Structure 1
């Protein structure tokens, strides 16, 4: 398996394929409870724009993407309307004595591993690659996870993420998780 930063159109298209397969509305109730799910849907144009400023972290096996962990910089907060409430919430969350939106962070926009490759350590390796690539530029990695996505919450906590805030918007109840790299 190869961990790398996405640099080809085919890799971005593979991310979108895996994302579509793991959308909550594409999964059985049992599968979503056991394996987790993704909520946000990206277009190719959005993911290409995100990748142009910060390369997306991917896992490849036999030249095919089998997992990804997206990088979403603050400047892209308005690209995906469903994520705007999360970014707005950052202005009220305190972390280390400061408002979160004033800290040097980026958002891990979504992480997903193809079903056949789950429970093989790829989730952890994707985040290790994030830290290797981006901890030299950022102090924190922040993400949000649906309260009903317990597999994802547990996996993030195992890596060292801490839930620092919970809020509800029109779509769901969300946990803001922070990984402090200091």
Structure 2
């Protein structure tokens, strides 16, 4: 049985990083990236913990093993990850001042658990656990990652804008 909860232990954070490593381009074939999607950002345990201390990540756990996660990234971390800095700058250009958003810093489902509704449930739990005063979730997707683009549309994300940065085309999206 899969349980959805907020990450709370060092072991859970370490398991997030293990799953992350399995889904970075360096660990995938080109065919796997096209078929199953891929992750862009590699986090350190220290940064992952700092982010979790500010707003807990949402995890899917089965038999004490993290099989999926959605990372919560408070806007205070806007300058913490180089590849994400442009995203925060673009958000500031298009988001109304009254919108208090949380960034979904990365979402990943173990290959063994894809197509079972975890993606939708992780986002549902993330929205339920937004800190007081926050009202929506924003993220971006590499436009080459069609699996992720389609999955985000299916759970209600709409595009705010497209932009290019670091030689990649990004779709900045917001949950409706």
Question: How would you bin the TM-score normalised by the shorter chain?
Answer: over 0.9
Q: Residues of 2 paired with 1:173 and 1:67: CA distance? A: 25
Matched, 1:83 2:84: yes
Kindly indicate whether the alpha-carbon contact (under 8 Å) linking 2:70 and 2:108 is maintained by their aligned counterparts in 1.
yes
1:50-78 CA deviation, whole Å, 9 max, x = no partner? 01110000000000000000000000111
Matched, 1:121 2:117: yes
Kindly indicate whether the alpha-carbon contact (under 8 Å) linking 2:83 and 2:166 is maintained by their aligned counterparts in 1.
no
Q: Residue in 2 aligned with 1:158?
A: 154
Q: SS of 1:55's equivalent?
A: coil
Q: Residue in 2 aligned with 1:23?
A: 24
Q: Residues of 2 paired with 1:123 and 1:54: CA distance? A: 19
Q: Which runs of 5+ in 2 are unaligned?
A: none
TM-score (structure 2 length as normaliser): 0.95
Q: Residues of 1 paired with 2:131 and 2:86: CA distance? A: 25
The root-mean-square deviation of aligned C-alpha atoms, in Å, is 1.3
Number of residue pairs matched by the alignment: 175
Shift of 1:122: 0.7
Shift of 1:34: 1.1
Which stretches of structure 1, 4 residues or longer, exceed 4 Å deviation after superposition?
none
TM-score (structure 1 length as normaliser): 0.92
Q: Which runs of 5+ in 1 are unaligned?
A: none
Q: Residues of 2 paired with 1:173 and 1:151: CA distance? A: 15
Match of 2:166 among 166, 170, 178: 170
